[in-house]
Amino acid sequence: NAGVTQTPKFQVLKTGQSMTLQCAQDMNHEYMSWYRQDPGMGLRLIHYSVGAGITDQGEVPNGYNVSRSTTEDFPLRLLSAAPSQTSVYFCASSSSADTQYFGPGTRLTVL
Amino acid sequence: QQQVKQSPQSLIVQKGGISIINCAYENTAFDYFPWYQQFPGKGPALLIAIRPDVSEKKEGRFTISFNKSAKQFSLHIMDSQPGDSATYFCAPLTTGTASKLTFGTGTRLQVTL
């Protein structure tokens, strides 16, 4: 049981490049979320999903896209990276209970 | 819209001392009050949580105190240890909305020898 896995662990992009952050969970959780963590600002919700085929925006969705074709996977796409998207990104999953399980994070730098 | 305010931003405590972190919220619909612990380079992990039907919950050295009328809850770490050095986040929520937590800004705790 690997829990929540994220790839890559580190990534450097140039402004304007696109990329996908991968997230997978093997706990059969319905709910999955993406957060970004910036110094002094805690974690802020980007997008979330309450089940396969269902996604919705969080607090800071601009510049990011998501899709949820399977229960296990919830990729986050950056369409045109900007320096303001330099951050640490965390994926999380939860069942109908209220505890979220977080992945190890992806540290992204946009030059 | 800042629904959750956490204090202090940082805290230095000597080994064996008591660490206290506070969280104030505005949304009266919140009915589950967790604290998450995050070590450097790792994702947050649930440490302890409380529901509003009790005013205090203790798990080992960690205690949550809850004040519904003041809309505040606190984390107390008794006999603080260097291994407790981490960042702590409160993340109150309404039951059933676990997919979209609202986090406090975090408290960086350092426990010195």
Average pLDDT, chain A: 94
Q: Is B95's CB within 8 Å of A104's CB?
A: no
Mean pLDDT rounded to a whole number for chain B: 93
Q: What residues in B contact A101, CB-CB < 8 Å?
A: 45
pLDDT at B84: 98
CA A54 to CA B73: how far, in whole Å?
33
For residues B113 and B110, give the distance between their C-alpha atoms in angstroms, rounded to a whole number.
Answer: 10
Percentage with pLDDT > 90 across chain B: 81
Q: Looking at residue B1, what is its pLDDT?
A: 47
Q: Quick one: CA dihedral A95, A96, A102, A106, positive or negative?
A: positive
Taking CB atoms and an 8 Å limit, are A41 and B105 in contact across chains? Answer: yes
Asked whether the beta carbons of residue A43 and residue B96 sit closer than 8 angstroms, the reply is no
Neighbours of A87 (CB within 10 A): 21
Closest alpha carbon to B106 in A41, A36, A34, A35: A41
Q: What is the pLDDT of residues A75-98, one digit of tens each?
A: 999 999 999 999 999 999 998 667
Segment B71-112, tens digit of pLDDT: 999 999 999 999 999 999 999 988 776 667 789 999 999 999
Token pair recorded at residue B83: 């291994």
Query: DSSP labels for A23-68?
Result: EEESS--SEEEEEEE-TTS-EEEEEEEEETTEEEE-SS-TTEEE--
Q: What's the order of all strands across the beta sheet hosting A64-66?
A: A4-7, A19-25, A76-78, A64-66
Could you report how far apart the first and last alpha carbons of chain A are, in Å? 36
Angstrom CA distances, A96 to A93, B38, B99, stand at 10, 23, 9
The pLDDT confidence band at residue B46, using thresholds 50, 70 and 90, is very high
Within 8 A of A43 by CB-CB distance, chain B residues are 44, 89, 101, 103
Q: What value does the mean pLDDT take over residues A55-74?
A: 96
Minimal Cβ distance to B99: which of A31, A44, A59: A31
Residue among A48, A49, A99 minimizing CB distance to B46 = A99
Q: How confident is the model at residue B2 (pLDDT cuts 50, 70, 90)?
A: low
